[in-house]
Structure 1
């Protein structure tokens, strides 16, 4: 019993020894068509890559730089997200550079996620390093301490147009 009969339950229509020249020509045409389509796909993919690379810019961070983190739904808890909640948070300090595409970020413990982020989830913080929440003095008057300030979380837009949450210091006395 042959394999076709075992697989399909009936015998093959092909009788041994018969060969069609027309079938061989058609087979060659199909192979040539597949080859030309494969070559065309490769050319188009190269063109798409060139076009995408024109707009791509490499962003490198150093240890100690301040960055915003993009909050993806897959990475953070389900209760963290809503339609109107901020899509990012920060600024946070780059703790360690793993490679050009991955960085370890100093996150507070309440985030309960890995501190390693892809560069696509980071954007540069455009501000003075003195604006950090744990600076020792008030931002409004020299020599004043933070006891007279109120920390307020607000939503802001970064330079790329993404919404983030940030800490703003307001003077209670003024």
Structure 2
């Protein structure tokens, strides 16, 4: 019973992207109480209802597109472009999800390097030369790589 109430409450919350609640989009009116479901019209003029529903869905789709674009613009303002070349040396940040379960411990190194870039697959994906003994994929996203500086205290191998 509690799950049904939670679902009803969730479906009647206004979405920040569309400004409408889910039941308003699906049932064409915002339901405030469960017995509002019984007051939905039983006879409707199909053509008028279809046009109204199409207009509602087009408006919601436009709102979603507009909101997504604003999120994208906001995120791109803080994004920095990173371009590495083949043969550059980088430091690679290691994340827990790169390792098999049980093989990553919190005392393991958080970054390795310097590692040489062997190939570029995409503007944001590079293959690096990993040290011996690492049984993980050598392909890293550029967000997990940073330029190697000799002042970092790591020696080239």
TM-score, structure 2 as length reference: 0.60
Where does 1:1-174 land on structure 2 (aligned, <5 Å)?
22-128=45-151, 132-134=155-157
Size of the aligned set, in residue pairs, is 115
Gaps of 5+ in 1: 1-19, 135-174
Gaps of 5+ in 2: 1-42
Distance of 1:110 and 1:86 partners within structure 2? 13
- Superposed CA RMSD in Å reads 2.6
Distance of 1:133 and 1:83 partners within structure 2? 25
Q: Residue 90 of structure 2 contacts residue 116 of structure 2 at CA under 8 Å; is this kept in 1?
A: yes
Further displaced range: 50-59 or 92-101: 92-101
More helix by share: 2
State the structure with more CA Rg.
Answer: 1
Q: C-alpha deviations, 1:6-50, integer Å up to 9, x for none?
A: xxxxxxxxxxxxxx6634323322211111111111111111111
